[in-house]
Each structure stands twice: as C-alpha cells, then as structure tokens.
Amino acid sequence: MSRMPTTSEGSATFRAEPLSEAAPLHPPRAGRRLDPLGLVLPGVVLIAWWVAVHFGLATNVLLPSLSAVGWTLLDWVFNVSGGRYFFSGTWWRDLLGSLMRVMVGFTVGSALAIVIGVLVGWYRVFERIADPTIQILRPIPKTAFLPFAILLFGLGNPPALFLTIYGVFLTVYIQVVVGVKLVSRDLKRAALMLGARDRDVLFRVVLPAALPNILVGMRVGAAYAWLILILAEMLAVQEGFGYVLWHAYEFLRMDVVVAGMLCIGLFGYLTDRLVVIVMRRKLDWAQAVAETQF
Amino acid sequence: MTIEIREVLKVFLDPAKGSDTVALQEVSLSIGQNEFVVLLGPSGCGKTTLLNLVAGFDFPTAGSVLVGGRAVNGPGPERGVVFQSPNLFPWLSAYDNVLFGPRVRGQDLAGGARRATALLSLVGLAGFEGHRPHELSGGMQQRVAIARVLMNDPDILLADEPFASLDEHTRRAMQEEFLRIWEQTRTTVVFVTHNIEEAIYLADRIVVMSRRPGRVKAILPVDIPRPRDRTSAGFVELTRKALELIQPEVTV
Ligand SMILES: Nc1ncnc2c1ncn2[C@@H]1O[C@H](COP(=O)(O)OP(=O)(O)O)[C@@H](O)[C@H]1O
Ligand SMILES: [Mg+2]
C-alpha cells in the first residue's frame, strides 16, 4: 500500500480537486530545540535575584544567594561537607523515592481514572452508581485526607501513595468522563450504521475520539501528582524532595528550600515532557486536523 | 429491499422549554426495490428526521417504518448512510475508514483489502489510500464516505444532502459518479436534497415535502431517460413544476 499518491489526480473518470487543503498552511515549527525567547524570563528572574542579594534588598534568611544554593546542591548530591547536614549526600535517595512515588501515584491513579471514567461516561448505570459519590468527594481538598491516611497506614510510602493516587484519580477522572461524553453523535452513528456493536463503538470510535481529552487530563494529573506528593512527603515521609524541603524550612535553611524547589521544578517539567511526547505521538491526527502542535 | 413508511408522526419534546416540535405528520411512503427516491423540501421540513427513522437512529412517535417488511429497530449495515458531512474517523486513513465495516463485522479481511482498494478507485481515489481525512478535500472525503458504505454491500443507501457543501462543479461531478455507482450496485436509494436540479437529475421519483410539520405534498415521477440533459425541455419543465410546488413552502 503506497502511502503517497502516485499522481496528484484521482482516477481518470473523476478529476480530483486540487489538494490545496491538504498542504499545511504553516511548515512544521522549526524543530523543538530551545527557543531563546523562552530564556528571557528566567534570565530576568536570575538577574533580579542577584541584584536583590548583592544590594541587600532582602534579609539573608529570606533570600539565600545564588552561590549558597549552588553549594547546597553540591552538598546534597555529592556530600562535599562530609555528612555535616541532614541532607548531605541524600539527593539520590530523595530523587528515587519521590520519582517512584510520583510514577506509581500517577500511573495507578490515571489507570483507575480511565477505567472508571470510561465506564461512567459510556454506561448510564455506572454513572448513576459512581458519579454522585465522586462528585461529593471532589470538592473536599484531596490533602484533607492526609490525617486519615497517616492514621490508617502509618508514616512512609503508603499514605503518600494513597493520597497521590487519589488526587490523580479525581483530576483525570473528570476529563475522561467529559472526553467520552463529548464524542460526536454522528461519529457514533457512522460506526453503528457500518455494523459496529456497542463494544466496537466504545473501543474503536469513542476511545480514540476521547483520547485528546484523556491525555490532557493525564497532563494535568501529572502536575497534580507532584503537588500532592510533595505535601504528603512534608508530613508523612522521612525522605524525598518534599521531606528535605520542609525539614530545611524548620531549620530556616532557605538555600536548601530553594534547591528543593529547583529539583521539584526540574523533575516536574520532565514528567510533563513525558506526557507531551506521548500526546504528540498518539494525537498526530488531532494536531493535523487543527494544524497545530503541542 | 423495500421501504414502507406508514402514517408516521414524529414529535420532538423539549422538556427544558416545555415545547414540542412536530417534525413529521401523517407521512406515508412506499419505496420499491432498487428505486432511486429523492426527498425534496425546504430546510427544516423534516427530511433528515425522516431519513434518520429509516436509518434506525431515531424512532417514530406514532406509525411505523418497515424495511424489507420488518420494523426498523436500530441502525444496521444493510442500510448504509452517507451524512451531510463526511463523518470519517479522523485517526484512520481513507483505506482503514473503508475497511471499518468489515472489521467490526468480523469479515474476511484478505478479500476485503482488495475490495477496499477497488472501491477507492471506483470513487476516484486511487493513490489516496494512505491519506487521512484532513489531507483530503471535502469532496474527496465524501467519496471516501461513499466507498466506506459501499464496502458493506448495503441493500439500501440513505444519503442526507451529501453534496450540499460542495461547489457546483464538484457537486455535478459527484452526482454523475453517484449515478454510475448506483447503476453498478442497484441498491435502493433514498437521497435527501433541497436542490431541485439535483433531485431531477438523480431521481426515479421525487417526493416533495411541505414545510413543517413535514408531510408528503406531492410525488413527481421523473420519466426522463438517463443520462439526463439538465438543459433539455423535459428537465426544464419539471424544474418549473417542482418550483411551483416548493415555493409556497419556503418561509424566511
Ligand atoms: N433532536 C431534535 N430535537 C428537537 N427538534 C428537532 C430535532 N431534530 C430536528 N428537530 C426539528 O425538527 C424539524 C425538522 O428538522 P430536520 O429533519 O433536520 O429538517 P431538514 O433536514 O428537512 O432540514 C426542525 O424544525 C428541527 O428544528
Ligand atoms: Mg437536514
């Protein structure tokens, strides 16, 4: 099967219309390399930071210097102080712990949200059974479940994972239900008149058509996973970026706090990129229809 | 396959507004095997509603719709529908759109593959098999939609203003193509349009509908042999007749 037409015309009996609509209006955005414009704001922030520290515009406690944060990062990762502080050399442990919890929370929470969200969006009876309860739970801040999670599971991974899974689930769930419900009626009718049974309509039409919304939900869910996990680590776990950040605050080591924020930001960004890569690959058709790129 | 529409009433209820719309009233119509019937009427007169009842997308409030002697109880592959917009699956190539029917019906795909390619060239799209809908023009998409339906060998073809959004030249070319395909496949066709010329060019019989609530106002047999010359005296005479019937039904 050739993917490209051998001629620009259809068969002889039928003159194909010019393919003007087929040609993209804009050439694909030149690569996805670093855009210098994107560096302007971080540059401004760094300069403002340096100026504020240099001219003593903020107290040392509130605003650590760039170099202090740099040394702290070095110590955190490589233990250059020889184990002087509680965080010296613990970076890899913190990173792997946080990363593991985020990934498990995100994967399990999203999977549950997709399964339950599709059932609720597609089958009226599941909607009647599950949706009212979920809607009652939604306005309760997910973090408000932390005390119960700690009492129930004790300290450590279980309460943090529970909270992350729960938070991701609720965030993604809404988007899955909406995605399934917003699939065009005519697309479903087209499948039915072609002989599709209910199950085929769901798996071959509704799921692919709902995928853009589902993946957007997962992208929001990934960010949410970090947010809620950091909070859970502050209170319920003895390791991880959230733990280090909060513990440092208790010692008023704002240089460590900033170092922690930078790490969370960096890895939050990386998990987001991961979802975006999946979106780009799975939604090439939707991007092409809209002539856009994520 | 024959279609029997008996004393059909269709009312749309709007519980929010508490108002009802009577879309069809006392509509009766018999359509014979292999007949090409065109439903002609002003916008909003219930043409789509009537077609949806035959397709099984919706059900009459009263009366009955029989296809091949049996009451319609849902959509099915023996009644292919070509919608006003192509409604292709945007994530599938033209080829996979055409193969959708056999796939969901669990049919042999080896023969299907050859047939899909043949049907795409029948509708003038040889070489475009790998293209996705957004890479095709509106007319090309509608041709894929026709091929997708033909792939199922339907007994009945239901078409709802399929060429309405095309420019005039493309539309005429599509009408010719549609007739050529119909002469090869000889399915029963119910074709909806608001375009008088299109109706006369295509139909064995034109069913003229009144404005809402839609009723059958008149039935015009078209006895001009095909291929029809749109400028012939008979064609023009019929155009005049149809205009006289339709004009009073048009409200602005
Ligand atoms: N699902 C619906 N709910 C309420 N009213 C409808 C619905 N579908 C059609 N109607 C109404 O029924 C009438 C006939 O519509 P339709 O069959 O689409 O007309 P046509 O196809 O001839 O333009 C219109 O007044 C329209 O507003
Ligand atoms: Mg209509």
Residue A32's pLDDT is 63
Residue B139 to residue B125: CA distance in whole angstroms: 11
What pTM value is reported for the model? 0.86
Q: A251-280: per-residue pLDDT in tens?
A: 999 999 999 999 999 999 999 999 999 999
Q: What is the mean pLDDT of residues B74-92?
A: 96
Nearest atom, ligand 1, residue B43 CA = 23
Q: How does residue A23 score in pLDDT terms, banded at 50, 70 and 90?
A: very low
Residue B191 to residue B37: CA distance in whole angstroms: 6
* B137–A7 CB contact, under 8 Å: no
Residues whose CB is less than 8 angstroms from the CB of residue B151 and which lie 6 or more positions away in sequence, other chains included = B98, B99, B101, B102, B112, B115, B116, B119
Q: Residue B82: pLDDT above 90?
A: yes
Residue whose C-alpha is closest to residue B104's, from B75, B82, B138, B131: B75
Q: How does residue B228 score in pLDDT terms, banded at 50, 70 and 90?
A: very high
All structural domains of chain A, each given as residue ranges with its CATH number in brackets, are: 87-293 (1.10.3720.10)
Ligand 1 site, residue B212, Cβ cutoff 6 A: yes
B77 touches chain A (CB under 8 A): yes
Complex-level ipTM: 0.93
Q: Residue A104: pLDDT above 90?
A: yes
Residue B212's pLDDT is 85
Residue A123's pLDDT is 96
B163 touches chain A (CB under 8 A): no
The one-letter amino acid at A86: F
CATH 3.90.105.10 assigned to B33-59+70-78+155-252: no
- The minimal CB distance from A1 to the residues B76, B124, B130 is found for B130
Give kind and range of the element (H or E) at residue B29.
strand B19-31
- Give domain limits for chain B: 33-59+70-78+155-252, 88-153
Q: Is the CB of residue B8 less than 8 Å from the CB of residue B24?
A: yes
- The minimal CB distance from B121 to the residues A11, A15, A18 is found for A11
